[in-house]
């Protein structure tokens, strides 16, 4: 490091240190109104404060000085901070200095990422890391495992585990019951295990990971490996960039064992009801044919980011002599060898299924009703995940937790501009690829505001495909395409499209997506509870599938809902890893008996 570079780094550190002194003084002002005004004055007029549980017991973004002042005023009794330390400072360009800070509140050990511009705060993230009263048993806090000496216990670890597993759900009730044992449920259970919270996961599959093994033969993850680690146990450095489905299934099963999670397979949740008087749930499950009644305090629906499959009923289906199945029921292309298969839809599942059908000797026919955003997987890594989740990021010292924090430090309101810039580069570099798709009649888009895939995903999770080989088959006509149309009705031997085209078909696959996650609440609990909670996912961005009002965070995800003691856990592997931390901390605090007053509980948005 040169003297000039060293001086610049020192100057950046001093900027953040000076800000920290001023910010701490404002936070710790004794009068709530004075503190609110002092803190708000430190922000730009369009500044943001995103708080992940630290002060709000919620996932909440305050936008602008008035909202920031209200956050401080309403939470003044717990908004003080001590032991503030600057970890690092970085020049992000365009006059922006980014600093990372650690601090302690009476409840949490926490971290913050601040962006300063022209002496004011542009963005601030405050992130809960550990409960002060219940630090994670890691590093110097790791358990001893055994007590040596003449008075050592006769029961070893395996004996104690067997006793715990035999009693849990019968003599002993879990504090948290997680319905759904995919990556989200497993990640949350691992976090809760390290918080000392008695937790049980129930899953209908025969083995952990079968949710992946049971899907079609050629499936691989579309996200790259650096994006997909689970908490505590990252993939080995030799792991492939795109994980095959069976390899992912094996990893989840081994992870469940290594993390010593309490996980019931072959268990289906039949119904659940909440007792307001006791503050507990009664959940009836069928465990390998045995009916068991569980009484957890907290119930988590970890059924993925989607709800019940959408299976549109169309005229004439009772006359169709072939098979109609939803994409979630697609067993693999080898079943359909030699068949003509109409796939209704043109997003991720539809493309994957069409390619799987082609690879197995079937004739796939894609019906594209509306436009789809396509991005090549290489371009997705290069321009979208690469700055934080890539081999280059790892080599530059950005570990997964740092990458998660940096990504979370951008408020959702600011994501479109950055994503648009990334996808402008994608569109320019892959212009020939997009031209070929356009020439084939495929209807393309880059989102309503040109911000691409990730915002589409956040705004109700549809309308895109990360290309891992199907798009070339569409472009050259190998996958037969009919765009701008839907299925009008079935015939005995196929379907008739809305433009009058008649297609013969042996199978129709409905790649028509899923409803909101609260559909599971409706099925398992009641329509009244589902309506009380409202829809899950979406930001309120006032786009086609994500109506307003704007919320600034994903609806009802990883945070308190309008139904006491009911939570939703979902998302991709990255989100499961990162946001399981905050949901686990909220649950652990309640298990500890801490006061958890929620600021700005999610509003009711009725499903009707």
Residue 71: which pLDDT band, with cuts at 50, 70 and 90? Answer: very high
Report whether 266 contacts 288 (CB < 8 A): yes
Q: CA-to-CA distance for 51 and 583, rounded, in angstroms?
A: 13
N residues, the chain: 608
232 Ramachandran zone, left/alpha/beta (phi>0; psi -120 to 50): left
> What is the reported pLDDT for 608?
42
Residue 309: CB atoms within 10 A of its CB come to 16
Dihedrals φ, ψ of 545, to 5°? -105, 10
Percent share of the chain, pLDDT over 70 = 97
Q: CA-to-CA distance for 414 and 92, rounded, in angstroms?
A: 15
Q: CA-to-CA distance for 302 and 220, rounded, in angstroms?
A: 22
> What is the reported pLDDT for 606?
52
Q: CA-to-CA distance for 448 and 320, rounded, in angstroms?
A: 37
Asked whether the CA dihedral 383, 384, 387, 390 is positive or negative, the reply is negative
Residue 605: which pLDDT band, with cuts at 50, 70 and 90? Answer: low
From the number of C-beta atoms within 10 Å of its C-beta (0-12, 13-18, 19+), residue 147 rates as: exposed
* pLDDT tens digits, 200-258: 999 999 999 998 998 877 788 888 999 999 999 999 999 999 999 999 999 999 999 99
- 218's tokens: 């050629």
Q: CA-to-CA distance for 262 and 168, rounded, in angstroms?
A: 8
Dihedrals φ, ψ of 547, to 5°? -65, 155
> Is pLDDT of 190 > 80?
yes
Report whether 124 contacts 26 (CB < 8 A): no
* pLDDT tens digits, 409-437: 999 999 999 899 999 999 999 999 999 99
Q: CA-to-CA distance for 411 and 409, rounded, in angstroms?
A: 6
From the number of C-beta atoms within 10 Å of its C-beta (0-12, 13-18, 19+), residue 286 rates as: middle
Closest among 61, 39, 40 to 50, alpha carbons compared:
61
Residue 556: CB atoms within 10 A of its CB come to 27
Sheet of strand 566-568, all strands in order from the earlier edge strand to the far edge: 263-264, 199-202, 176-179, 298-301, 566-568
Q: CA-to-CA distance for 245 and 228, rounded, in angstroms?
A: 13
Report whether 251 contacts 211 (CB < 8 A): no
> What is the reported pLDDT for 88?
93
Residue 6: which pLDDT band, with cuts at 50, 70 and 90? Answer: low
Q: CA-to-CA distance for 302 and 211, rounded, in angstroms?
A: 13
Domains of the chain (ranges, CATH numbers) = 3-131 (3.10.450.50), 159-307+518-538+552-592 (3.50.50.60), 317-510 (3.50.50.60)
Q: CA-to-CA distance for 403 and 407, rounded, in angstroms?
A: 6
């Amino acid at each position: 490091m040169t003297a000039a570079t060293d001086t610049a780094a020192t100057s950046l550190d001093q900027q953040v240190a000076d800000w920290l002194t001023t910010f701490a003084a404002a936070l710790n002002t004794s009068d709530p109104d004075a503190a609110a005004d002092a803190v708000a004055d430190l922000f730009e007029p369009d500044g943001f404060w995103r708080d992940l549980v630290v002060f709000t017991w919620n996932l909440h973004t305050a936008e602008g000085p008035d909202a920031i002042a209200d956050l401080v005023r309403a939470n003044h009794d717990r908004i003080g901070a001590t032991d503030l330390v600057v970890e690092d400072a970085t020049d992000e360009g365009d006059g922006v200095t980014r600093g990372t800070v650690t601090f302690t509140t009476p409840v949490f050990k926490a971290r913050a990422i601040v962006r300063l511009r022209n002496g004011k705060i542009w963005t601030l993230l405050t992130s809960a890391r550990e409960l002060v009263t219940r630090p994670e048993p890691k590093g110097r806090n790791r358990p001893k495992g055994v007590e040596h000496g003449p008075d050592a216990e006769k029961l070893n670890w395996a004996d104690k585990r067997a006793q715990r597993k035999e009693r849990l759900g019968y003599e002993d009730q879990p504090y948290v019951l997680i319905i759904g044992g995919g990556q989200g449920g497993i990640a949350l259970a691992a976090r809760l295990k390290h918080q000392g919270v008695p937790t049980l996961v129930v899953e209908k599959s025969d083995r952990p990971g079968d949710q992946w093994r049971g899907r079609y033969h050629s499936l691989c993850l579309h996200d790259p490996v650096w994006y997909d680690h689970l908490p505590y146990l990252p993939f080995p450095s030799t792991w492939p960039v795109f994980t095959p489905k069976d390899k992912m299934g094996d990893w989840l099963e081994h992870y469940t064992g290594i993390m010593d999670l309490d996980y019931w397979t072959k268990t289906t949740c039949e119904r659940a009801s909440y007792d307001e008087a006791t503050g507990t749930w009664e959940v009836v499950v069928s465990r390998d044919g045995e009916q068991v009644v569980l009484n957890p305090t907290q119930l988590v629906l970890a059924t993925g980011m989607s709800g019940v499959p959408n299976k549109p009923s169309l005229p004439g289906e009772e006359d169709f002599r072939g098979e109609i199945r939803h994409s979630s029921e697609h067993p693999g292309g080898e079943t359909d060898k030699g068949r003509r298969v109409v796939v209704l839809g043109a997003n991720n599942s539809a493309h994957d299924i069409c390619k799987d059908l082609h690879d197995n000797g079937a004739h796939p026919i894609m019906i594209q009703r509306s436009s789809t955003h396509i991005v090549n997987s290489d371009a997705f890594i290069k321009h979208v995940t690469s700055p934080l989740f890539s081999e280059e990021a790892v080599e530059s010292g950005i570990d997964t937790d740092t990458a998660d924090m940096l990504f979370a430090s951008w408020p959702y309101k600011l994501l479109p501009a950055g994503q648009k810039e990334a996808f402008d580069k994608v569109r320019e570099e892959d212009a020939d690829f997009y031209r070929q798709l356009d020439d084939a009649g495929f209807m393309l888009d880059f989102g309503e505001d040109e911000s691409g895939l990730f915002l589409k995903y956040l705004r109700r999770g549809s309308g895109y495909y990360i290309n891992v080989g199907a798009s070339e088959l569409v472009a050259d006509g190998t996958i037969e395409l009919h765009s701008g149309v839907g299925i009008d009705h079935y015939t005995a031997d196929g379907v008739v499209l809305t433009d009058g085209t008649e297609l013969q078909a042996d199978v129709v696959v409905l790649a028509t997506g899923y409803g909101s996650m609260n559909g599971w609440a409706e099925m398992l609990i009641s329509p009244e509870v589902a309506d009380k909670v409202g829809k899950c996912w979406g930001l309120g961005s006032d786009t086609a599938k994500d109506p307003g009002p704007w919320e600034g965070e994903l609806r009802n995800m990883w945070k308190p809902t309008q139904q006491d003691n009911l939570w939703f856990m979902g998302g991709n592997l990255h989100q499961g890893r990162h946001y399981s931390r905050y949901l686990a901390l909220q649950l652990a605090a309640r298990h500890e008996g801490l006061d958890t007053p929620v600021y700005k509980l999610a509003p009711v948005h009725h499903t009707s």
